Amino acid sequence: MFVSPCLSGMTHVAVVGAYGSAGVAVAQRLADDPAIDVTMIDDGDPGGGLCILRGCMPSKEVLSAAEHRFAARHDDRVVGEVPDVDLEAVVERKNEHTSNWAGHRRAAVEELAERENVEFLRETARFVDDRTLEVGDRVLEPDYVVVATGSEVNVPPIPGIHDVPLQTSADVLDATEFGDSGLVIGMGVVGLELVPYLSEAAEMDLTVVEMLPQLLGQADDAFGEELRAFYEDAFDIDVLLEADTNAVETTEDGGVRMDVTHDGEDHELEADQVFAFTGRKPALDGIDIDATALEPGPGWVDDTLRAVDDEHIYVVGDANGRQPILHVAKEEGFHAAENIKRDVAGEELAAYDPIHHHVIFSGLGTLPFARVGHSAESAREAGYDPVVVSRKAADDGVFKAKNVPEGLASIVVARDGTVIGYQGLHYHADAMAKTMQIVVELDLDVRELPDRAYHPTTPEILDGLFKDAAAELED
């Protein structure tokens, strides 16, 4: 029976999806408050969270193997036969590491459950009414529910797509055999990472069909154009932009055929396999959310991470559809926990408004993309009249010396000198994102930043950007 917190002295919070990065962050923060009872719920088998089991960790594991082959093939100083990638060894090592990482997550959750004010239920949770959950043979009526159920692969409603042997990102991470050729639907984050893997590790001949007009939609145009050219040249991948997949079917020889519209003309494309790298969507179907007043969709979760249709339900991580990124999921979990405590205390809730911070391991990690803060376009949309300076990686000798001369970088600076954004598409851009996060989040003045990277290291590209921006401000 529901017990009011004003009578019991305790506030009861149920966290649905406790193994994931967002869910465990909520539970950890709330468990530190002795006035809150936490019920963690997750039916994951074996459990460990999406990022660990099917996301960023295993994908980086397989990319690293292909990266080594690419480096050897891409350097004319290295002679001899190009080695093959042992896909069975790749998957075996990935599974071993993934199992270990997931085990650490499960151990952390189980250790948390040993606290007096925490309970862990390894069951499926389903809503039967607003904030009423059926969990196994129990019915819970907590004061607050946090939905942290993550996301699932999004398969677009293309005619025939469920009648062909479609491969998604989850399938690719486990596969040890591939055909000679493939058709890829979608070139967002997942495609940007896995398409080069299929080309390099599986040596597939690939054609990508992308409905958007450019790659890297979050970046200024030059970055998407640069990356497309790199993919077509370094991996021999055909990328069709502003193209629509109208239908897909199997062929008599067991392959696949796609009806595609590109440049106003219809085309029939054939290959051995078809892949859908069309993103992910919130995993909400399994919790019977229709039994509540919640209506998932654009704007259904406000900036405090609270559901607009029920002020006692919070939705965090991939489940809310806002920013399906690991570090954001963690931050949202901590933020939601603090807002629940604020709400219990009768205090005003705080909005979660993070600075954009995103990394994509494109080009097998040899040409990663990172964006922190504003792009030039988003800065202008926000009302700035920014100074924008760009620099080619090839302009700095260190990139040539390391045989990675491709790519570019830019910074966006407000007229008062404050650095408000960085974009990098070059070797080590992923690592430089942390430096630029500090610069942007601390509102540092570009004219006061030291421009002396240790020579010869790739952050020299940042030195050049700082100098160029400072000079333009002075002019």
Structure token digits, residue 227: 């990356």
374 neighbors 421 (Cβ within 8 angstroms) = yes
Q: Which of 112, 107, 97 has the alpha carbon at shortest distance from 52?
A: 97
State the DSSP code for 84.
Answer: P
Q: What is the end-to-end Cα distance of the chain in Å, rounded?
A: 71
For residue 3, the model assigns a pLDDT of 35
- Give pLDDT tens digits for 162-208: 999 999 999 999 999 999 999 999 999 999 999 999 999 999 999 99
Each residue of 313-357: pLDDT tens digit?
999 999 998 887 878 889 999 999 999 999 999 999 999 988 999
Kindly state the average pLDDT of the residues 420-433. Answer: 97
Q: Three-state SS for 182?
A: strand
CA–CA distance, 68 with 61 (Å, rounded to integer): 12
Provide the CATH topology of domain 5-62+89-153+281-344: FAD/NAD(P)-binding domain (3.50.50)
Distance of CA 119 to the CA centre of its chain: 30
Comparing CA positions, the residue from 395, 382, 367, 456 lying closest to residue 421 is 382
Secondary structure (3-state) at 124: coil
CA pseudo-torsion sign 441, 442, 447, 448: negative
DSSP output for 366-423: TS-EEEEE--HHHHHHTT---EEEEEEGGGSHHHHHTT----EEEEEE-TTSBEEEEE
- Is residue 301 classed as helix, strand or coil in its secondary structure? strand
**Residue spans of beta strands (DSSP E) within 219-378:** 238-240, 243-250, 256-262, 265-271, 273-276, 280-282, 313-315, 357-360, 369-373
Question: Fold match between 5-62+89-153+281-344 and 368-474?
Answer: no
The helix/strand/coil state of 121 is strand
- Domain limits, the chain: 5-62+89-153+281-344, 161-278, 368-474
Q: What gap in Å lies between CA 74 and CA 29, rounded to an integer?
A: 47
Residue 382 CA to residue 377 CA, distance in Å, equals 9
Q: So what CATH class is 161-278?
A: alpha beta
Task: Give 414's DSSP letter.
Answer: -
Name the strand (E) or helix (H) holding 183.
strand 181-185
> Whole-angstrom Cα distance, residue 46 to residue 95?
13
Q: How far is CA 323 from CA 295, 316, 398, in A?
A: 18, 10, 34
What's the pLDDT band for 9 if we cut at 50, 70, 90? low
Q: Beta strand 243-250 with 256-262: parallel, antiparallel or unpaired? A: antiparallel
**What single-letter DSSP state applies at residue 85?**
P
Q: Which amino acid is at 339?
A: N
Angle between helix 189-200 and helix 221-234 axes, rounded to 10 deg: 20
The more confidently predicted of residues 253 and 5 is 253
- Give me the mean pLDDT over the 108-127 stretch: 94
Closest of 355, 354, 393 to residue 372, by C-alpha = 355
Q: Given 3.30.390.30, 3.40.50.1980, 3.10.20.740, 3.40.190.10, which CATH number is that of 368-474?
A: 3.30.390.30
The neighbouring-strand residues paired with 420 are: none
Q: How many Å apart are CA 133 and CA 127, to the nearest integer?
A: 5
> Which residue type occupies 352?
Y
297 Cβ contact list (under 8 Å, min separation 6): none
Q: Tell whether the model's pLDDT for residue 62 goes beyond 80.
A: yes
Per-residue pLDDT reduced to its tens digit, 296-322: 999 999 999 999 999 999 999 999 988
